[in-house]
Structure 1
Amino acid sequence: MEPAEKYLFTYKGFYFQPDMASAEYLDTLEDFEIRDSDVFLVTYPKSGTIWTQNILSLIYHEGHRDGTEKVDLLDRVPWLEYNIRNADYISRPSPRLFASHLPYYLAPKGLRNRRAKVVYVARNPKDVMVSFYHFSKMAVKFEEVEDFGIFMERFLAGKVLASSWLDHVEGWYTHKDDFNILFLTYEEMKKDLKSSVLKLCNFLGKRLTEKEVDAVVDQATFNKMKADPRANYEFMPLDILDHSKGPFLRKGTVGDWKNMMTVAQSERFDSVFKKRMEKLPFKFCWDINEES
């Protein structure tokens, strides 16, 4: 059941990728200097991270919105714990945007002064798990688990990158008063993207014209993103993602778990997750055609 050390290592009870982060680097993040203007996008993997990275980039960068700049998402909204391009985050001009899968207890201490902003996006965990399973096939540095049933048991036990989905969502929500945080769900973004963009703008204090908001919404649709080389992660090197195994942006739907999970697997999943999920404030939508 335990993932091989070649693929994951544990740091303070949380799983990371060994060749993309180190304990020494993670140690430095506790005292990472936070600016009041910083924005952190926090998610559990496969919860709409790239989508929201793109939306934040479109909101903040007019050049991204009007197509005059070709800066990709990894430079626009880089990963805090996975500094893939060895960027100098300290001298980066404000406002700085970061993406992260960190649990609440590993977030930089400075975020707890509640001035910098945190956007947390959650997604229903069955779709997260199915997306994670497909992603593991193209992620070169991931352990490929062919058998979906085995992958599901690892996911339920939190023996995957970023550990337990329940712990991650629960942790950030339970400690929400420690942070200046906005919670969104992937499903509400799918149902009404414009409302979600306006909610983000309001939280971030960004005043966009109606025309600019419409441009953000238009360019943040799944098909537009999938075709946008700045946003579709095709710029990731081949030693990280094997693009021949499929697109990074696969379907972007709600309810795809029904195409993968058997009734027995769904019931097994519910038996592990349901009790704790019922205590969460989010009403997760399990199928875009049904109300949550």
Structure 2
Amino acid sequence: MKNILSFPLNSLNILTLPSRIAKKIKYGRSLHKNHVVEDVFLVSYPKSGNTWLRFLIANAIKVHYNVEQDVNLFNILDIIPSIIGDGNLRPEGPFGRTDIPRIIKSHSAYNPYYYRVILLVRDPRDVMISYYYYLKDRKQIDDKLEISEFIRHTKYGINRWTEHTKSWYYNNYGGGGGQIIKIFRYEDFLKDTHLQLSSVMDCFGIKINEKLIDEAIALSSKEKMKDSEKKHLSTNIINGKISFVRKGVASGGQELSDLDIEFIANSATDIARILGYDL
């Protein structure tokens, strides 16, 4: 199957949400004047594969329209920008094209002003592992913090993943408000990147032949991304010892203890099972 779920969402009463989610929605409302119905938001919880997905999409557009510009970790935010810090998004789509909708990255919880959404989800056990090392490498959490503590952390832990994912899935599920959300799983991209990328490009109304899809996938390989990281991030953004691109595998949380896996399951089993994850 091309994507596991597709459903419309209608308006949301933010009074029913936790305060931090309500605040994010209010922030989104303050920016909605810069959004248009055609915008497509690539939404995910952090460390769910959003960077790889943006590379795949950007390279698919590049090869389809024969764009000379290369895609790398230094310019990906120019091609597919993030909502954070971009209150005045440029009116053009990727590579400055006006015949493609703007594609915007976001880690936001549910926002009723995101009219077209591609939600990328990943096994929460692997998300916790990847997010832990990501924040630890960047000194955003205490270096002595153990992964067991991280999973239980009120700001970063599994309960936040559960809140984020449920906010998109459950809020007025099945309503008729005009929003469209398509959910893709990171693991499905690993199993059949060609099929999943083709399906994502359909969301933008772009039909790409199979040969070009394969070319885009090759340009977006983990090896290519790591080479890009070494070339660009080490000199332009962050210390070379910090790795943005990790293993990217589907391990089912193999690094975690049985108690940690049980804790994750107790928090996330209901929504994870709906998404096809057996915790």
TM range (shorter): 0.7 to 0.9
Following TM superposition, by how much is the alpha carbon of 1:14 offset from its aligned partner in structure 2, in angstroms? 4.1
Contact 2:126 2:250 in 1 (8 A): yes
Following TM superposition, by how much is the alpha carbon of 1:60 offset from its aligned partner in structure 2, in angstroms? 2.4
Following TM superposition, by how much is the alpha carbon of 1:73 offset from its aligned partner in structure 2, in angstroms? 0.7
Query: When the two structures are superposed, what TM-score results if normalisation uses the length of structure 1?
Result: 0.72
Matches within 5 A, 1:87-106: 88-92=88-92, 94=98, 95-105=101-111
Matched, 1:32 2:38: no
CA–CA separation in structure 2 for the residues paired with 1:180 and 1:266: 33
Q: Which runs of 5+ in 1 are unaligned?
A: 1-10, 17-21, 287-292
Pick aligned residue for 2:276 from 258, 268, 283: 283
SS in 2 for 1:103: coil
Matched, 1:75 2:78: yes
Q: Which runs of 5+ in 2 are unaligned?
A: 1-17
Structure 1 partner of 2:6:
none
Contact 2:41 2:106 in 1 (8 A): yes
CA–CA separation in structure 2 for the residues paired with 1:25 and 1:49: 22
Following TM superposition, by how much is the alpha carbon of 1:26 offset from its aligned partner in structure 2, in angstroms? 5.6
CA–CA separation in structure 2 for the residues paired with 1:80 and 1:161: 23
Following TM superposition, by how much is the alpha carbon of 1:82 offset from its aligned partner in structure 2, in angstroms? 3.7
Code of the aligned partner of 1:222:
K
Contact 1:14 1:162 in 2 (8 A): no
SS in 2 for 1:53: helix
Number of residue-to-residue matches in the alignment: 250
Following TM superposition, by how much is the alpha carbon of 1:228 offset from its aligned partner in structure 2, in angstroms? 2.8
Structure 2 partner of 1:169:
165
CA–CA separation in structure 2 for the residues paired with 1:196 and 1:23: 29
| 1:57–1:80 distance in 2 versus 1, CA, 3 Å | same
Matched, 1:188 2:188: yes
Following TM superposition, by how much is the alpha carbon of 1:243 offset from its aligned partner in structure 2, in angstroms? 3.5
Following TM superposition, by how much is the alpha carbon of 1:197 offset from its aligned partner in structure 2, in angstroms? 0.9
> 1:241-283: CA deviations, max 9, x gaps?
x442x3110101011621x2112222232233224533x2x11
CA–CA separation in structure 1 for the residues paired with 2:66 and 2:231: 12
Pick aligned residue for 1:265 from 260, 271, 279: 260
| 1:255–1:161 distance in 2 versus 1, CA, 3 Å | closer
Structure 2 partner of 1:222:
222
| 1:182–1:136 distance in 2 versus 1, CA, 3 Å | same
> 1:187-235: CA deviations, max 9, x gaps?
0000110010111122221021222111112222222222235998557
State, as a whole percentage, how many aligned pairs show the same letter: 21
Structure 2 partner of 1:53:
54
CA–CA separation in structure 2 for the residues paired with 1:125 and 1:118: 20
Contact 2:34 2:89 in 1 (8 A): no
Query: When the two structures are superposed, what TM-score results if normalisation uses the length of structure 2?
Result: 0.76
